[in-house]
Structure 1
């Protein structure tokens, strides 16, 4: 009995300093081993961006990292004849709105490593290409099929959806959204 009480007292004594390293006030400073840290100014992650996926090269992807800016999703597929040309236009859209909009390509089943070679924005490196082998993302965002765009505002609200052939309307929507 004494050993149980002694063990409980030891655990409580060890946990007390750990409890003192946190702030009960979510707006207050976050304390850690290095002392007070500034509170992150990050926005809350909208429900639409609360998902993880794999990129076409197998890397992990957390969509929560996209929070705070509009997100343009482009859905394409292996059997889409127009998609290689549309990939070039998607890269151009990413260039025109660099730093103001996240552009993510979503490869459907059979797309392998995707159209990464076609979607190399001149000004911004490369686009993220997510693998969607079972159409989970296509279904989540209710994309009509391949060569479809879905635009979310910074709050994760669906503000535009359309066929890849109509990039003029999409570009107008993007420009209006980001000012």
Structure 2
């Protein structure tokens, strides 16, 4: 008699446990990568882009705070190519890239996104850099803890990571003075 009562309960508990072990990544359940990422937003809303229908690729499932202190969700960048510009406020190479990066951000506004990811210093220095270089027309994250840098495995400043509209990395490296950035973005938006 006891076995009849315990066995169905044990089977039900096992079925519930196994149901949670799948690898399906849907907007309603959230993926394991979203939950384990140190900068993941963790909300099911992040699985859909701010543009409405584009699915948010894994690369854009992170949040942060801008140098201006505003919350930022990278999911809003989904559906278009994205230029991630990793810079430090004291870096002369980064300063040399600023004008070209700002030009590309303006030229491809609405077709591609540019996001500065500042690190290796304090937020006050980051704000000063943005003001001094004329790059305030696109958002910059204050990544003092280096979480976004780690996410993209960036180990040095003055680095670009370019993602296509599906969130796949198509370029990662240094572009001295930003030279070649416009051509790379044009190839993704053309």
CA distance in 1, matches of 2:97, 2:189: 22
In the TM superposition, 1:55-94 aligns within 5 A as 55-94=66-105
Correspondence 1:172 to 2:183: yes
CA distance in 1, matches of 2:185, 2:177: 13
Structure 2 residue matching 1:61: 3-state secondary structure: strand
Confirm or deny: 8 A CA contact 2:160 2:173 kept in the other structure.
Answer: yes
The structure with more helix, counted as a fraction of residues: 2
Confirm or deny: 8 A CA contact 2:101 2:181 kept in the other structure.
Answer: no
When Rg is computed on C-alpha atoms for both structures, the one with the higher figure is 1
Structure 1: stretches of 5+ with no match in the other structure? 1-39
Partner of 2:168: 157
CA distance in 1, matches of 2:144, 2:123: 9
Confirm or deny: 8 A CA contact 1:87 1:118 kept in the other structure.
Answer: no
Structure 1 residue matching 2:92: 3-state secondary structure: coil
Confirm or deny: 8 A CA contact 2:106 2:137 kept in the other structure.
Answer: no
Structure 2 residue matching 1:116: 3-state secondary structure: helix
Cα shift readout 1:96-141 (whole Å, capped 9, x = no counterpart): 21211100001103142422224546xxx71101011121111111
Structure 2: stretches of 5+ with no match in the other structure? 1-50
1:41 shift after superposition: 4.4
Partner of 2:131: 117
Partner of 1:105: 116
RMSD: 2.1
Length, aligned pairs only: 138
